Structure 1
Amino acid sequence: MTSDDLQSIFESDDDGLLNTPEKVAQPTSGDRLERSFLEILSFYREHDRIPRSDTREIAERKLGARLDGILADDGKITALTHLDEFGLLTVPEPPQSIDELLASDDLDLLEDTSGLLDTSDLPTRARRTEPEKIAQRVKSADFEVFEPLFKQKQAELRAGVSKLIDFPGEKYVEEGAFFVLAGVMVFVAEVRDPEVSASRATKTRLRCIFENGTESSMYKHSFAARLYEAGRKHEGAYVVVPAAVDSILEDDKHTGYIYILRSLSDDPQVSSITDLYKIGFTTGSVDKRIAHAAEQPTYLMAPVEIVATYRTYNLKTSALEHLLHRIFSEVKLNVEQVGKDGRVYIPSEWYVAPLDAIDEAINMIGSGDIVNYEYSAERRRLERR
């Protein structure tokens, strides 16, 4: 075969079958570094927190150790700065004084219980940090509003209606949730609008009410970090209702609240009824739901008192209401109310039954046993069908 023959073969190769494939470029160390950091960013985007290097979760521990390694290397920080959309690589300026160090202690890690840092007898000096930006505990001005909630939750814990579990994650720090931190029960009364920091990272402040009558406006991320740390010492927990969450998993979804209300009406046809309760369900705040109760026929045109609330997970509203309404249908209140528009209404969800029977029914929802029971108006208790 001559060179002309070979040239003819190459020229007739219309499909490029004889072309030499291009070599795939091998990833560089810089490419691998960026890829590993993108995995860390993906974790932060999903969980709203950095991965921990001391967790039992192997995948998260690897990412946490990787981030620790990056933060310890100035060269890696410089190489990855253009990808750092959440400010994970921003190194805070060191405090210039003891005052500034204490003022930045959102986690109260430097709380002085010995009195060694008490400078009350010394001349006052200007503070470097604005007081309103520091998460300090102060006396709660309206603690009397929240005190009944703590008493109710403690009663639920004693009765086994609620229980304590390990803190499941920052996503469960929501308005209306109860936690135990360093042996003190905490109620998340408010989740405020996110603040944008100088690094353009968003931070969300909470209004946390403590059972000892104090409150704090710490950041949501800081509060979660404290719960994680306290949990390792068996001093932190999440308060849940077993009927709604026997074991909270990552994919479990908070669907709302079951609430029990007592009417404060002075109408004789209402106030004369013993054990009259409204059993309802809401996907939002119970307090907001009943804010205008005195103007609504469904609340008997009168203010109401919250007797108990229960957080629910993975429960369909329609199924929940059907079960509760069916079980107490025999003792449903039958009255008429005239609304402000002049129309006549028949309020629903009001039942005449002892509170302990209602509690028992709600506890049976999670286990499914409620379908096997019915309420006896004569004996005023739940009985197996």
Structure 2
Amino acid sequence: MKRYRSLDDIFEEDDELGLLADIRPRRSNTSSPEGRNAEIVVEVNDFYEAHGRLPDESGATIEEMKLGTIWRSIRSEPSETMVAADRNRLLGYGRPFVSSAVDGTTATKSREPSWRDDPDEVDVPLSLDDIFDEDDDDIPEAMIGMRHVTPAAEREKPAHRADMIPCADFGVFEQGFVDMQAKLDAGEREASPVEDRQELRPKEGDFMIHRGLLAYVAEITEHTRRGGKPDHRLRIIFSNGMESDPLMSSLRKALWADRTARAIHRPGLGPLDPDWNADALQLTGTIYVARSKSERPEIKEVRNILHKIGVTSQDVKRRVADAKNDPTFLLADVEIVATYELRNLSRMKIEDLLHRFFDVARPSGLTITDRFGKKVFPREWFYVLPDHIAEAVRLIEAGTLHLYRYDTSVQQIIRLE
């Protein structure tokens, strides 16, 4: 079979059937590349005079797209023939061109610069300093000013990291780890892998395996919001004598990333089953009374009578370290007014007892809106004086709190009749 090197070879063949009669290309009077480029320059000048602009390689018609593409490829290195054919001086990148006016005189027109034109070398900045040193006094402030953006210094930044630290009261947990390991070895407890993106909801008293260590969920703080989503801060004790206090959302991510992570199932059929809490440790803790340092007017004006009553099993200073980012602390730092150590008393029971005792003094409309627009209803704040809280603690130690009630009308703890 005969091989053809170009279209010209095909069209030079005898067309016995007349198939190419209507599609033979027009022969150009100019065969050299320089001559064809000059013809393109003439076509571009015709287009410019008809439309007042250069042909766009992204134009609406195929003819304009083709002409614009070819023009862009040849205009950077014009030859003398091309310059001679450029009657509007379009190869001059914005220089005026001369055309005949109606009265026979010449008129000078200026071509609007295009974003497709190559910039002059003097206009190209060599560094960022060249850009910022330019005098742009006419730039409106609205174009460069930033609005509705939280400054970096005010963004939600934890005051402490959930690092591993030595557990000061590890003796309280040590036997629990020994017992749980024995139950696992004997097959009395089942451990299942933590699947990726599994929705984990740890509860106080849960055991798990994380980083190759037994871990115990000692405390879950009250409901809060972080990043616009519900969350809690946890106290996790590890079998190597260390502890950490991550957010529940952070713990989930850490468990998903840990291929050795395991969830240890509790005994029984559910919270109502007597065996459900068989593995849970009875922890004591510290009652703390906190006063807000918030500058919000509605909080600042009642600061001296509005107090948070909390109970924690961990160090109180660590518990309140991130108060300014925690809606349960009214998104502000707090001052610790008083603390009371619990002895042989359940932390959760004491906290519930105090909150129910002072429930009549709980603010009904106290809400906090986080920076994502979500409302939080803190439940541990009360209109009560520190002296009254101290008196309630003394009655708990004496086992006689049930004989008294808090009267908001006189702001006193009075004996039931």
TM-score, normalised to structure 2, is 0.31
Structure showing greater Rg: 2
Q: Determine which structure has greater relative contact order: mean sequence separation of CA pairs < 8 Å that are 6+ residues apart, divided by chain length.
A: 1
Going by fraction, where is helix more abundant, 1 or 2? 1
TM-score, normalised to structure 1, is 0.34
